[in-house]
Amino acid sequence: MEINLFSESFGDRLLDLWKTNRAAVYYREAAATAEQADAMLELATVVHQYVLTFSSAGHECICD
């Protein structure tokens, strides 16, 4: 399902961030700090709310 909530450039930035950090964490070369974990949780929460608010797929959420 494509709902175009974010610009392509924003999606590219997220992908670059993931590619930059995934290997080090996956291979335990780097451990996330508590601050990084908190920031990721906050980002996920905000993005989730954004999707629910601005998409026609909000009724699909099973979080609650």
Q: What tens digit of pLDDT does each residue of 14-58 get?
A: 888 888 777 776 776 666 778 888 888 998 899 888 888 887 777
pLDDT at 3: 64
Residue 12 has pLDDT above 80, yes or no: yes
With helix as H, strand as E and coil as C, how does 10-53 read?
Answer: HHHHHHHHHHHHHHHHHCCCCCCCHHHHHHHHHHHHHHHHHHHH
pLDDT at 14: 84
pLDDT at 2: 62
pLDDT at 42: 92
Q: Which tokens is 33 given?
A: 């700090």
Angle 20-22-24 (CA atoms, 0-180°, nearest 5)? 90
Q: Note whether 32 and 25 are within 8 A (CB).
A: yes
